Structure 1
Amino acid sequence: MNSQLLMIEDDHRLAQMVGEYLGQSGLQVTHMADGTSGLAQLQGSELPDLVILDLMLPDMDGLEVCRRIRALPGAAAQVPVLMLTAKGDPMDRVIGLEIGADDYLPKPFEPRELLARIRAILRRREAGAQPPANHLLRFGSLEIDRDARTITVGGEPAELTSYQFDLLVTMAERAGRVLTRDQIMEAVRGRELEAFDRSIDVHMGRIRAAIEADPKNPRRILTVRGVGYVFAKQQD
């Protein structure tokens, strides 16, 4: 694996340690010490394969940086983001996922766990880039282009993170089947759910907000209480 990572982290000692550790596994890390520099790097000619983003930065917090990444033009907005959150505050996790982070890792963390999560995100991205036989999925006004990794609703583009796109495709490919949270996460090669982890529900909420006419009364992605979710087959 020879991937390029961008680490936005004001702790230079931590960034050096992470860079050296990940470098042993063939991952090249570029370090930026503040949000402004990190965002400038993402607007260059070569995009990283993943961003490691600290929540606490000197010029702006990581949540704001993540919002700005998702607002960037073109492919830059789709770069996966792994957010580092202090002390694993549950609200930091939820907010980070809601604004577009693909995963989170509380500090302090084991370098091996960071590497494992990075690899899981990159595997999902690589798997999603493989062209399927039928690249278009159509459900009434909803169209999912698996080759281009784009979504339109009524002809208008809908924005999702790379991970949320994979979740949506996983559900749409199995339309009409009830899937547990574990089955959904396993299908996209994600990490196993921790006890009481509600991150999958946060992602589903973001997907509904992007594709449903009324996210509070969804018609596409339905909750099956006590089990999981089902992508409805109806055509609008």
Structure 2
Amino acid sequence: MQDRYAGDVGDFVKLGLLRAIAPGRTLGVAWYRYPDEDHNADGRHTDYLRDRNQKLAQLDPELFEHLNGVVRTARSIRSLLPVLGDARSSDEALDVVKVPVQRRRSWRASWFDRVMGDLEGCDLVFADPDNGLTDDDDRRKGRATFGKSMPISEALRLSEGRAAVIYHHNTRRAGGHDAEVDHWMSVLGAPCLAVRARAYNCRTFFIVNPDQRMEDDVRRFCDRWSILKVSLHTSR
């Protein structure tokens, strides 16, 4: 997650999902905050806020109005917190550019330990890496851009013994998006749902260890938000 993304259509969907499933739970957010980049147009999908017919606004009026204000003023991760109630937040930056390459693996491990400490006691956690899930190939871990990904080992540790929502930006993986989602569901292993959101860009929210109430909430969310091409994934 980068500050410059705050308030875009991806935030509208993910915050809407969290607001739909978090009531009655202690929510913690691991933002995976990465320094702002300027080499692409990511984060500029805010046209949804010019919703003349108010169809999108009615999905979650309070959230819609708040994000409208965020986009008009200073866009930042912290500006999103008010719509998440009493959620705990772990937003230490994943900026390893100045960390020597040989120390980046140990630095990342310590960073994640601090995230786990920040979210201790939460029974629902959300992880928001820029690019989503990746494998634990050690060759990746010395790269500065590894901060944009969440290795599967972190996802498994974060979701152990509690419900977790993991963001994933779909890629050009061989076999297409359906096969990609099936792959990560199988690797996550635990009971898992996948919410697909196809408006503007293709993204998936993996919901690990949901109880029956959460599963019902997720299904209602997908039905209500279908106008933004949100749907529950069906494995092939």
TM above 0.5, yes or no, is no
Task: Decide which structure has greater strand share.
Answer: 1
Task: Name which structure has the greater RCO, CA cutoff 8 Å, separation 6+.
Answer: 2
TM superposition score category, shorter chain reference: 0.3 to 0.5
Structure having the larger proportion of residues in helix: 2
Q: TM-score, normalised by structure 1?
A: 0.38
